[in-house]
Amino acid sequence: MTEPLLSVHNVQVQFGGGRVRAVDTVSLEVGVGEVLALVGESGCGKTTLIRSIIGLEPLAAGTITVDGEQVTSNARGLRALRRKVQMIFQDPSGALNPRHTIGDAVTEGLRIHKVDGDSDALAAAALAEAGLRPPERFLHRFPHEVSGGQRQRVLIAGAMALKPKLLLADEPVASLDASIRGEILALMRSYVDRDGVSIIAVTHDLGLAWNIADRVAVMYLGRIVEIGPAEEVLRDPQHPYTRALLSVVPEIEGMEQQILVGETPDPSRVPSGCRFHPRCPVLASGEAERLGIADRCRGVDLELEPEVAPHRVACHAVQVQISR
Ligand SMILES: Nc1ncnc2c1ncn2[C@@H]1O[C@H](COP(=O)(O)OP(=O)(O)O)[C@@H](O)[C@H]1O
Ligand SMILES: [Mg+2]
* Residues in Cβ contact with 17 at an 8 Å cutoff, skipping those fewer than 6 apart: none
Q: Which ligand is nearest to the CA of 89?
A: 2
CA 43–ligand 2 middle distance (angstroms): 7
Euclidean distance between CA atoms 53 and 23, whole angstroms: 12
Per residue in 273-304, pLDDT tens? 999 999 999 999 999 999 999 999 999 999 99
Among protein residues, the one with the nearest Cα to ligand 1's atom 8 is 48
Q: What is residue 324's predicted lDDT score, i.e. its pLDDT?
A: 64
Q: Is 46 in the pocket of ligand 1 (CB under 6 A)?
A: yes
- Please calculate the CA angle 227-209-281 and round it to the nearest 5 degrees: 55
Euclidean distance between CA atoms 173 and 15, whole angstroms: 27
Largest CA distance in the chain: 68
Q: What is residue 308's predicted lDDT score, i.e. its pLDDT?
A: 76
Q: Is 45 in the pocket of ligand 1 (CB under 6 A)?
A: yes
β-bridge pairing 6-15 and 166-170: unpaired
Per residue in 122-132, pLDDT tens? 999 999 999 99
CA 36–ligand 1 middle distance (angstroms): 21
| Full set of structural domains in the chain with CATH | 6-236 (3.40.50.300)
Give the Cβ contact number of residue 243 at 10 Å. 17
Q: Which ligand is nearest to the CA of 51?
A: 1
What percent of the chain shows pLDDT beyond 90?
A: 77
